[in-house]
Amino acid sequence: MPARFNRILLKLSGEALMGPGQFGIDPDTVASMAAEVKAAKEAGFELCLVIGGGNIFRGMAGAAKGMDRAQADYMGMLATVMNALAVQNALEQMGVETRVQSAIKMDQVCEPVIRRRAERHLAKGRVVIFAAGVGSPYFTTDTGAALRAAEMKCNALFKGTSVDGVYSADPKKVKDAKRFDTIGFDRVLAEDLKIMDAAAVALCRDNDIPIVVFNIRQPGNLAKVLAGEGVATVVQ
């Protein structure tokens, strides 16, 4: 893949911070994610980050146990703020300047989402971490990532996963599943290939933002894929 991106939005699910456990935030794992971001930054890319909250709380899971969905979703959004602060901490311990902007205002903790201010941060070489998704229940951080990628005019949305791209079937279950180098948005939607939720994929399609699906668990891989050397699938 050619190095055609200058500004990217990196979406990590909450699970990417979980480490060997089944829940919560593992500091060593957070540090390894931060190292990926630092390497990409040092290679000259501008980075926006969106981090999910599934390692702590998902609204759907709360609703399935009888909670009011919107209430549960607000808890999920707060979980994403905790994750954003954890990643901010890890990055700053590595000397990378960052700002967190939350879609739910919490002035004592971080900035609110202000696009022009985020632009300024990027211009100053800071990594901007967008928290709380779109700030409304019934959405996901995937959709939040697509929205911020569009708003910030990112050249691509990088979706860090535990596999190295989009496959015709789950490669962890189906032995001869085929990996695509590129694939169209419409096929991803029509075949319901679960890369991101449909609203996020449609938002990227409508705004012409390619989604790059790659393995974030392989050390050094983000910088490699950004340099056009790694293995990934580009949804375009």
Binding residues for ligand UDP (CB under 6 A):
13-15, 52-54, 58-60, 73, 76-77, 79-80, 133-134, 136-137, 139-142, 144
Residue nearest ligand UDP by beta-carbon distance: 52
- Rounded to whole angstroms, how far apart are CA atoms 14 and 18? 7
Residue 27 CB, nearest approach to ligand UDP (Å)? 18
Residue 111 CB, nearest approach to ligand UDP (Å)? 17
Residue 229 CB, nearest approach to ligand UDP (Å)? 27
- State which residue, 133 or 165, has the beta carbon closest to ligand UDP: 133
- State which residue, 106 or 227, has the beta carbon closest to ligand UDP: 106
Residue 217, classified by CB atoms within 10 Å of its CB into exposed (0-12), middle (13-18) or buried (19+), is middle
- Amino acid at position 82, single letter: M
Q: Is 76 labelled as part of a ligand binding site? A: no
Residue 125 CB, nearest approach to ligand UDP (Å)? 26
- Rounded to whole angstroms, how far apart are CA atoms 166 and 200? 16
Sequence-distant (6+) residues with CB within 8 A of 134 are: 103, 143, 144, 147
Annotated binding site: 11-14, 53-54, 58, 73, 134-141, 161, 167, 170
